[in-house]
Amino acid sequence: MDTTLSRLHAGQLLDGRYRVGSWIARGGMATVYLGTDTKLDRTVALKIAHPELAGDPEFARRFTGEARSAARLSSPNVVHVYDQGSGAGLLYLAMEYVPGRTLRELLRERGRLAPAEALGIFQGVLAGLSAAHRAGIVHRDVKPENVLIGDGDIVKVADFGLARAASGPSHTRTGMLIGTAAYLAPEQVTRSAADARSDVYASGVMLFEILTGVQPHTGENPLAVAHKHVRDAVPPPSSLVPGIPPAVDALVAMATSRDPELRPADAGQFLNAVADVSRRMPALPPGGGAPGYAGRPDGRPPSGEEWFPWGGTDDGTRPAYNQPSPRDGGPQHTLVVPAGDMPDRGYGQHDRPDDYPWSRQAAYRPPREPVLQRWLQDRRMVYVALAVAVVVVIAVVTWWVTDGQYTGVPQVSGMAASTARTELQNVGFVVRFGPDQHSNSVPAGDVISTNPAIGSNAHSGTAVTVTVSSGPVMIAVPQVTGEQESAAKAALRNAGLTPGSVTPETSTTVPAGIVISTTPAAGTSWPQPKPVAITVSSGQPLPNFVGEQFQAAAAQAQSAGYQLQQVAAVGSTQPQGTIIGQSPQPGTAISPNEVVSVQVSSGPPQVSIPDVQGLSVSQATQELQQAGFQVQVNQNIFSGNTVSSYSPTGQAPQGSTITLTLGFNFP
């Protein structure tokens, strides 16, 4: 069950930015959806890693790292990676959306392509792979499914680094092959080793398939196909499609040598050879026809019987395809094109001359012409074939002298030392490790640099010295507690450390502006580039004066070095002189000479006291309470039930207590 599909639906917003659209495709490690970047308002392709892989920390780490590497590629022939992240528990890549179709879909529709058209598309593939190889990235899964043909016939290579991300330790087990069996290089099968030359091999197999419409090796299962790459040579495409030029056969043989040392070192070198052959391909004849073929007057591509490898005419002006073929009703004449010399192993993997059938037969029906004219035409074809062979040999020798014998030092900086060793050994270098060096940017155990430098060219077998990081420089944190903030920062810088964030904290013992502590503490060995945090006193905390009498609070503030400013609070029911509010709030840091504003009650409002003398106790109490006063009665066993006096009289604060004295009421 596709758990990715079950967890995403159209319209879902991924990671708060990417709106998921329709399903596009599903692969072994991810599912691709059409999506919209809502932030930049552009269409993207969203590649979502399958949950069973995304849950593996090692896969997630390598997926993220390889996505960053792929995002650094800048080539019009590479599908660009815009963003990488996670949302809803899923790892995803946001990539360039390329409307069009894959090379696989084109081959399903057309079957195979003519040599000129095939080489045109193939150069776009190699241009994309070349950009990756220059950046030290190996694709590891080159196949027609990963080649996109967009609008305007632009060719783009997709899925850089994803196969590499899945080949980490947690996904590699004995007998497991990373890649697609039909395109695996022999060293991937026998040693699970892959480098730029493995991509070249896969591209050579793909060129064979483009030219012939079939894969060179087939079998009952993927493992059987994989072992055929180790055991059997890739045949020349012309053995299946007669008439393919010998130079194109040589390209396939060069790329698919079973010995990696005999292949071009990377896609860039192979691209140079392909471009050279492509420039020498015949132009489309007037009247159309399939690219790279000598067309027929009716516009249909010629059959194998009518094919001239490099074009040709019977009289210098009229194309050879105007000659009637056997199907046109004339007798058949067979022209045997002499075979060129068998190339040595520099072209490929053939051990015996009969392993590579370079001789060709091309049948056609010539006009009835003098024997001498036919003899001269036959001689001309021999010279053309010899000239082509000379051009190919010169091109290969030139490539070997200028580029072929050299190998680029791959991008291994930032890799673990053991991984870097494997990468360098896989491309033919001898690895040596120099003294470790401190690095504030490269983690301990990872590669800082190489000698010869990364990206430079060197002979295969050259010793490459690798410098590994021992981690950042460690420095003891100096004692800066009790110093002013500025002095503490200067002391940290003088020690080689970086002052970090400053956190204010109130203190009843440390004056404002003085350092209370550092994180880490003084004496700790600390990495040089990592900031040291500082805690600085913001002053003593302000007490809570609410409820206290102003005079007492003012005396307390004066002794602490700051002052209280009184603001009258009219209408308060609190007793006069009571503090009912303050600014700043309690707990706020307060520095010497600061002024704290306090609201002081002016006392409750004055209310007239009713005259209750001579009234009974119950009557007097009722009137006083209605006026807002509290009542207290002074009486003894000799007191009567009549108010003889009360206190205070006149006016008093509302809510205050009126004391009643009782006596006897004598008539």
Q: Which residues are known catalytic residues?
A: 141
What's the CA gap between 413 and 399, in Å, rounded? 29
Of 457, 340, 623, the closest CA to residue 643 belongs to 623
Measure Cα distances from 305 to 111, 209, 360, 362, 609 in Å. Answer: 19, 22, 11, 5, 133
Which tokens go with 204?
Answer: 């050579």
What's the CA gap between 188 and 181, in Å, rounded? 10
What's the CA gap between 631 and 657, in Å, rounded? 5
Planar angle of CA 328, 332, 336, nearest 5 degrees? 130
> 10 Å Cβ neighbour count for 28?
11
Taking a C-beta distance cutoff of 8 angstroms, is the pair 341, 389 a contact? yes
Taking a C-beta distance cutoff of 8 angstroms, is the pair 215, 205 a contact? yes
What's the CA gap between 660 and 621, in Å, rounded? 9
Of 545, 604, 547, the closest CA to residue 570 belongs to 604
Cα dihedral 359→365→371→373 (10° resolution): -80
Of 193, 123, 154, the closest CA to residue 410 belongs to 193
What's the half-sphere exposure (Cβ side, CA atoms, 13 Å) at 526?
A: 23
Torsion sign, CA atoms 448, 452, 456, 458 = negative
Name the residue with tokens 């050299």: 406
H helices of 290-445, where? Answer: 371-399, 417-426
Residue 103: Cβ-neighbour burial (10 angstroms; 0-12, 13-18, 19+): buried
What's the CA gap between 187 and 588, in Å, rounded? 72
Of 117, 357, 343, 384, the closest CA to residue 242 belongs to 357
Which tokens go with 542?
Answer: 């302000």
DSSP H or E segment with residue 110: helix 103-110
Q: At what angle do helices 115-134 and 196-212 cross, to 10 degrees?
A: 170
Residue 584, preceding peptide bond in cis (omega within 30° of 0): yes
Of 199, 211, 210, 215, the closest CA to residue 255 belongs to 199
Taking a C-beta distance cutoff of 8 angstroms, is the pair 166, 139 a contact? no
Which tokens go with 466?
Answer: 């690798």
Give me the amino acid identity at 362: A
